[in-house]
Amino acid sequence: MPASGVSLSPEEFIRQRFTLAPLPFRPDISLYRPTPQSGLIGFLAAQGRADEPPYWAYAWAGGAVLALYLQDHPEIVAGKTVLDFGAGSGLVGIAAARAGATKIWAIEPDSNAHAAMMLNAEANGAAIASWNEHGLPEVDIILAGDVFYDTSVTRQTLPILAAAATHTKILVGDPFRRDLPLDHLDLLAEYTVPDMGGGAPVRSGVFALRPGNIGNAP
């Protein structure tokens, strides 16, 4: 097998080259995560995606802070239907399952991320279903971690979520990044969590997205 794992599907690559291990901040949840020997850079290069950050391979701070918030406040999702918007590794959906959500949808169009999400859900005994239809599913609450990480992404995601906020509760997790639309958010809680799988912990917040006209923001 080539050292870079280029002949492997995303599912095969993650199973064979990543390590399934508990998260330090949520040891009841385990995720497949890369090591320096995984060959992740070579795998992405073979896909022609060397310039794309492998956000699905790590627990970002926004997902981490939502996972901690749901651990402390399981009543937010217990007995409810949930959408993990921009699911990435699936951490937030898994945390919702741990907190007692009855149905969890996930929106994650990236093929590598989708593979990681489903493998992580399986490893944690969480039932997560992919939403592939137009628009958003009808749910009780939408959880969105790390969906405002740059200006272009914020311009795409904020109108969608703001429209949904008129009839659905939306919680956002983010480490106060530059493009976080604070004018449209109410801070509910703060935690200090690791970002991108390591380094010094960063201040991160859980926010409620206010409904209403977003104008030209950001």
Confidence of residue 2 (pLDDT cuts 50, 70, 90): very low
Give pTM, 2 decimals: 0.92
Domain ranges within the chain, ordered by starting residue:
10-56, 60-209
The top-level CATH class assigned to 60-209 is alpha beta
pLDDT reading at 1 higher than 50: no
Radius of gyration of the chain (CA): 17
Could you give the percent of the chain with pLDDT greater than 70? 94
> For tokens 């898994």, what's the residue?
94
For the segment 33-63, what is each residue's pLDDT rounded down to a tens digit?
999 999 999 999 999 998 888 889 999 999 9
- CA pair distance 175, 158, nearest whole angstrom: 17
Provide the mean pLDDT of the chain.
92
What pLDDT does residue 3 have?
A: 47
Q: What is the mean pLDDT of residues 122-145?
A: 96
Query: Is residue 113 a contact partner of residue 56, using CB atoms and an 8 Å limit?
Result: yes
Q: How open is the CA angle 142-74-209, to the nearest 5 degrees? A: 30
